Structure 1
C-alpha cells in the first residue's frame, strides 16, 4: 500500500486545457467526429480531495451557480471514482471534495480535470496501485479530454481526441483567457457546426476517420516560437461557437488590439484564449481587458497533469 493511502485524505491537482489547434472532421453515424487537436495544459487548476467513506459522495466549491455542477453520477469525478472501484473490485466508497477554478462549460476541460484528479486521488487513497497504462485506459472510457488531463504538458490528440501523442514544446507560452459567466453546450456547438457545413454543402458522405495537425503548428511548439504559433492557431468549432455567441468575436478583436498576437475560441467555447509574446504583454492585455469590464486571467503553459500535492 502506498504512503498516500495510509493518510486520511489525498489531495490532487489537475490542470485545465486549451486547444491550440482543433480540426474537426465530418459527423459519423455514431454521432462522433474525427478530431485532430493540440492540447496544452495551462496553469488554471481543479483541486480534488478524496477521503475514506463507506459510500460515494461529492461536494463542490468555487462556483457561483451551485446547480451548474451535478453531484451525482452525471459528474465525471463521481463516475471516475466508481469506475476505478469497479475495475479494482474495491468495496468501499469515497467522499470527494472538488474545488473548482476552471470555468464550468467553458471549453477548458474542467470536468475532465476533475475526473483525472479523482482517478489519481482514489488510486492513492485506496492503494489500488494501477499502472499508468491502465489509468490511461480508464480515463479514456470517461471522455476524450480525461486522458490528457491525466498526463498534461502538450499533446496531439487524434481519433475522438483520446489517442494521445506527447508533443515537444520548449519554453513557456503566455495566454490571457477571457472567461464568461454564460457557458456553451458542447453538443450544441457540434450540432451547429454540422448545420453550418450542411448549408455550405460541405458534409462528406464518408468522413475520414483521422485528421492531421499541420506541421508548422508542431514546429512552432517545438521551437517555443509564440509568433509562429500565433499564425497556426485554428479551431473548426469557432464559427459555430461565434454563431451561438456573436460577442466572442469582439473579445478576440479587443485582445489583439490590446497587444495579443492572436486569439481563438478554446474548444467548444466560450472561453477565449489570447496568445501573447511574453508575460509582460500578457499582464498588459489582462489589465486592458479588465478595464473594459471583461474577466481575463493570465496563465501559462505547458504544465504537468494530475499530481498528488
Structure 2
C-alpha cells in the first residue's frame, strides 16, 4: 500500500459521497522474498487461437495488522503489515483473441467502470506485454462483488488475476517471482496475491514474504462496510505519526502465529486514526460492533485504509444492522484462503463466491 498509487480499476458499488449511516518472544522468520529474484523474460511472440479461455476467481484481502513504520523523504511510507487473502471476490473470464487483434476488450457487470488504460485490468495486460514481449490481446469479463474504497484490494486482486491468466494462456513465459516483481509497477497491493495467501509485507509493500497462515483457515470473518469509501492518499495525508502504535510488528506476527488466534491488542492498524478522524461514523460503527457482538468476536478492526470493518470469530451479523440507518451497508461473511503451488486461488467452497447480502437480510437471518 503506497501513498501515491495508480488509480484503481474497480466497479463502484457505492457512491463515494459522505452520507450519515449511524446515530451520532520468538518471532517467526518469514521466508525470503520472491520479489528479489525476478528477471525480465526473453521476448516471445505467441499467436492466439480463438478458443483459448480461462475462468478464475479473483480474491480480495484483509490486513490483520498494519503498522506505519515511518514517513520517507520521497513522500511514501514504509509499512509492516500482515496480509491475508480472503474468499470475498469477483469472477473473471479471460479469452485470448485471435491473431491480428490489436486491443483488449473489458466487459464488467458495472457499466460505469472505465475500460481505458486507467483500469488496473488493462494496465496489467499492457504490463504483461511490455515485460514479456508476448503480443497477445484478450477479452476479459469481470463480475464484480468486492466493493470499491473498502481497503479490501478488490481492484488489486483483479490485476493480479489478470497477470496470472495472461501468463497461463500464453504458455507461462514468466515465473511467479517475475509476476510478483512486475506487479509493483502498477499498484502496491497487487504483489501480495502472488504470495501463498498469507504474507508479511514491508517497505512500501513491495517486499512480500510468505508466512504460515496465522489463523485456522476456517476462522469465520464478517465484513461490514458503510456506503462511503475512503481515499488512500487522503488517509495517509491525515496520518498523525505521533498517534501511531508503538507495537513491534514482528512481535504482533509472533503473537498471532504462536497463539493461533487474534486479540484486539494484536490487530493494530495505524490508519484507523486518520480514517476515524475523517469519518467519525466509522469509529461509531466499530464501537457498536464490539459492544453488540459481545464475546462472539475475538477482534474488530479496520482493514487497509478503510472503510471496511473486519469482525473475527463469527460471521453472524448483529441484530442492530437491520436498523434503518444501516440499510445501505455492505455486509458479507468471508474466510481466509491460500493457494497451492502453481495454481490460482479458489473460493473456500471451491465454487463461485456468494454475493454479499444486504445488512437487513443478514441480520434477520441471525
The TM-score bracket by the shorter chain reads 0.7 to 0.9
TM-score between both structures, scaled by the size of structure 2? 0.71
The answer (yes or no) to whether the contact 1:5–1:127 under 8 Å persists in 2 is no
Residue in structure 2 matching 1:251, options 282, 285, 301: 285
- CA 1:96/1:182 → structure 2, altered by over 3 Å: closer, same or farther? same
In structure 2, the residue corresponding to 1:14 is in which secondary structure? strand
* Greater per-residue strand proportion: 1
| Count of residues in Structure 1 that have an aligned counterpart in Structure 2 | 284
**Structure 1 counterpart of 2:249, from 209, 213, 221:** 213
| Paired residues of 1:10 and 1:51 also in contact (CA < 8 A) | yes
The answer to whether the 8 Å contact 2:91/2:143 transfers is yes
Q: Does 1:300 align with 2:300?
A: no
Contact 1:120 1:308 in 2 (8 A): no
The alignment's TM-score, normalised by the length of structure 1, stands at 0.83
Change (3 A) 1:96 1:222: farther
| CA deviation after TM superposition for structure 1 residue 308, in Å | 7.2
Hey, what does 1:265 align to over in structure 2? 302
**1:63-74 → structure 2 map (5 Å cutoff):** 63=110, 66-67=111-112, 69-74=113-118
Q: Separation in 2 of the partners of 1:232 and 1:5?
A: 51
Give structure 2 stretches of 5+ with no counterpart.
1-44, 347-366
2:284 counterpart of 1:236? no
Establish whether residue 48 from structure 1 lines up as the match of residue 92 from structure 2: yes
Normalized per residue, the structure richer in helix is 1
CA–CA distance in 1 between the matches of 2:185 and 2:248?
23
Greater Cα offset, 79-88 or 110-119:
79-88
Aligned match of 1:131 = 175
Aligned 8 A contact 1:186 1:268 in 2:
yes
Matched position secondary structure for 1:230: coil
Q: Secondary structure at the match of 2:123?
A: helix
The superposition leaves residues 214-251 of structure 1 with CA deviations (integer Å, 9 ceiling, x where unpaired) of 4243332354224xx43301111111011111111111
Q: Which of 263, 279, 282 pairs up with 2:315?
A: 282
Provide the rounded CA distance (Å) in 2 between the counterparts of 1:239 and 1:117.
32
Aligned positions of 1:136-151 closer than 5 A = 136-151=180-195
User: C-alpha distance in 1, partners of 2:307/2:133?
Assistant: 39
1:165 paired residue among 209, 214, 228: 209
- Contact kept, 8 Å, 2:255 with 2:266, in 1: the verdict is no
Deviation at 1:185, TM superposition (A): 0.9
Tell me whether 164-173 or 32-41 shows the greater mean CA deviation: 164-173
Aligned to 1:174: 220
CA contact (8 A) 1:5 1:126 kept: no
Contact 1:39 1:157 in 2 (8 A): yes
* 1:27 Cα deviation from its structure 2 partner: 2.4
Question: Are the structure 2 counterparts of residues 26 and 231 from structure 1 closer, same or farther at C-alpha, using a change threshold of 3 Å?
Answer: closer
Residues 299, 289 of structure 1: CA spacing in aligned structure 2 closer, same or farther, 3 A cutoff? Answer: farther
Q: Does structure 2 conserve the Cα–Cα contact (< 8 Å) formed by 1:77 and 1:114? A: yes
Do the aligned partners of residues 11 and 36 (structure 1) sit closer, same or farther apart at CA in structure 2, a change above 3 Å counting? Answer: same
Distance, in Å, in 1 between the alignment partners of 2:182 and 2:64 is: 25
**Aligned mates of 1:289, 1:10 — CA distance in 2:** 42
Distance, in Å, in 2 between the alignment partners of 1:289 and 1:78 is: 41
**What's the counterpart of residue 237 of structure 2?**
191
Please tell me whether the aligned partners of residues 20 and 38 of structure 1 are also in contact (alpha carbons under 8 angstroms): yes
